[in-house]
Structure 1
């Protein structure tokens, strides 16, 4: 039975078809322009998971996944810049704090866009960024290895770890300021366009009112590891986009049909697992399905290269862009356990 798509899905499809996909190869080489971010804001996609009482859509998780697939499949760099925004929004919506009343509505309606600077917390017991309590607030010292969307984001969700293994999440302006300096934009094999930098923190001071959450590192890991073990919708979006290319080639229709059927099955399994409450021992099962999704992503993007022939070696080739984006997604948000399972799967064939 056919159903009417959610309005945000329709807007995402229109944005992808009218703007993101036609310009994706140029953006891949030149960088995500501010106009792309503005288009995402106008489409209401920054508020997809935000509460309605703060101006967001509070859309079902299936809608959030489908819009992510659409954006990633049309321009993965634009998807990656805007996807950072949704975690800060969820955190603000979940925990009562003074900063929620200041930022949640502007973030939900797209007046502001947020980035994230906390993946380094997963390196514990190594502590790349330290949070030091001071009178009236906190001081942050260390280095954020990866920060995406520099120059496009307005605010960032930053985390540091205290000497007592407490993780402190705060909001800061995403700009150079006393105690915060950005590197030059990184040149990467894929998604250089997403404007990723490292951040040097040398005494960045933020007031207590900037804090959204304080939690133990152990509690953070209990929530973060199952979530990070889920397959990203972007994996499916890029894989489907690659199979669309394969299907349009003279010899590729059957290959595309076969891989699409397998991808559909893994997608159903991945989302079903993600919808279950996280329980003890759930991470290996989720990672196993995530690894299957990676295998099919690699097969789909390889098929697009093979079907494209020598033309796929041109930097302006859509097949090559998708293959490089697929390579990036293999390590995006990677944990040590995910790396071990993926390598083990590759070793066993």
Structure 2
């Protein structure tokens, strides 16, 4: 535990000195985000939840979430990319496949091997987009993985495929076009033209009778696992929103120093207080899911408002695509929908719909400060 604050100091120094000055380039250029990710690996910051016996940092949950907020403050693209790898590492840590753990985990913290994830499709209603059929020695996978981030940046990714009983098998696949002698194949679309974080190279993967060997299986999950996991981890994506909000306030703080308008300073102070309150609520959440859900959408709301404030004080310059305020505003869009579930969507819309009526009555809080 004593080393964890020092780890955060190292991370913040690197992010502030080496990442922040290049944030616009990192947002749009895959080579720039690759170098930024490499820098995290050189500091052994890519396996924070990996046990020390596997060459990881084995940090506390609080330290890990603080790190995620820090990265999002300085570069949304880097935050989004590295969390895919950190998620993959977490899945491997929890795996019962000891040989797979031994092969991958010691090389993940330093970035020697980079692994993405492709399981968000499990949240989708209706027919499964990726299906698995058990055969001798493993599973045959068929379908499309709609979102996989890290094309030409990661070497492999962990995919989730739905089983006939509604459960899911998770396995490691190559993040490159491959054809098996048995006739199976894995191909990828061109990187999507997204509004934000285009450098992270998000693609769609198409699997045709791909044979997933038993040795490459990470885990098996029961039906409904993703929904229970999303409820348990509803606040996790909120830390990225907090970092995005802080990035907006950094721009506001710079404007307050250069323009010296009292109203900018007052807005900065008010938003900063609210951000600190939101951070405290996320780090010390109540038990009921409904209340934790409200804290999640509060984080989304304040990220968007701080980003909008950054645009406001930047005036017309915020229209430039490479302006910091423009980038942070786009990042707020991404963090609004990252890890979105139906419950998060509904709660976000409810907060947005209530905001106007509450402004009219000057009632900014209810019994809970995080409820709009």
**TM-score, structure 2 normalization:** 0.87
How far 1:343 sits from its partner (Å)?
1.1
Q: Is the 8 A contact 2:92 2:101 kept in 1?
A: yes
Provide the residue aligned with 1:176 in structure 2.
177
Provide the residue aligned with 1:192 in structure 2.
198
Q: Is the 8 A contact 2:123 2:226 kept in 1?
A: no
Distance 2:67 2:114 in 1: 17
How far 1:335 sits from its partner (Å)?
0.7
Rg bigger for which structure? Answer: 2
SS in 2 for 1:248: helix
Give 5+ residue unaligned stretches, structure 2: 180-184, 356-372
Provide the residue aligned with 1:71 in structure 2.
71
How far 1:133 sits from its partner (Å)?
1.0
Provide the residue aligned with 1:6 in structure 2.
5
Q: Is the 8 A contact 2:234 2:292 kept in 1?
A: no
SS in 2 for 1:141: strand
1:4–1:296 CA distance, 2 compared to 1 (3 A): same
Provide the residue aligned with 2:367 in structure 1.
none
Alpha-carbon displacement from aligned partner over 1:149-206 (angstroms, at most 9, x marks no partner): 1111122111100111111011112111121111001111111121111111112211
* Aligned residues: CA RMSD: 1.8
Distance 1:56 1:216 in 2: 29
Select 1:215's aligned residue among 213, 221, 226. 221
| Structure 1 moving runs of 4+ over 4 Å | none
Provide the residue aligned with 1:346 in structure 2.
352
Alpha-carbon displacement from aligned partner over 1:9-34 (angstroms, at most 9, x marks no partner): 12211221222111111222333442
How far 1:93 sits from its partner (Å)?
1.4
SS in 2 for 1:108: coil
Provide the residue aligned with 2:18 in structure 1.
19
SS in 2 for 1:200: strand
How far 1:323 sits from its partner (Å)?
0.5
Provide the residue aligned with 2:278 in structure 1.
266
Provide the residue aligned with 1:253 in structure 2.
265
Deviates more, 1:245-254 or 1:142-151: 245-254
Give 5+ residue unaligned stretches, structure 1: none
How far 1:7 sits from its partner (Å)?
2.5
Distance 1:4 1:215 in 2: 34
Distance 1:122 1:4 in 2: 37
Distance 1:142 1:5 in 2: 42
**TM-score, structure 1 normalization:** 0.93
Task: Report the number of matched residues.
Answer: 341
Distance 2:310 2:278 in 1: 20
Aligned pair 1:227/2:233, yes or no?
yes
1:228–1:203 CA distance, 2 compared to 1 (3 A): farther
Alpha-carbon displacement from aligned partner over 1:185-242 (angstroms, at most 9, x marks no partner): 1111111121111111112211001111112122443223321454421111111111
Alpha-carbon displacement from aligned partner over 1:52-93 (angstroms, at most 9, x marks no partner): 111101011222122212211111111111110112211221
Deviates more, 1:30-39 or 1:13-22: 30-39
How far 1:117 sits from its partner (Å)?
0.4
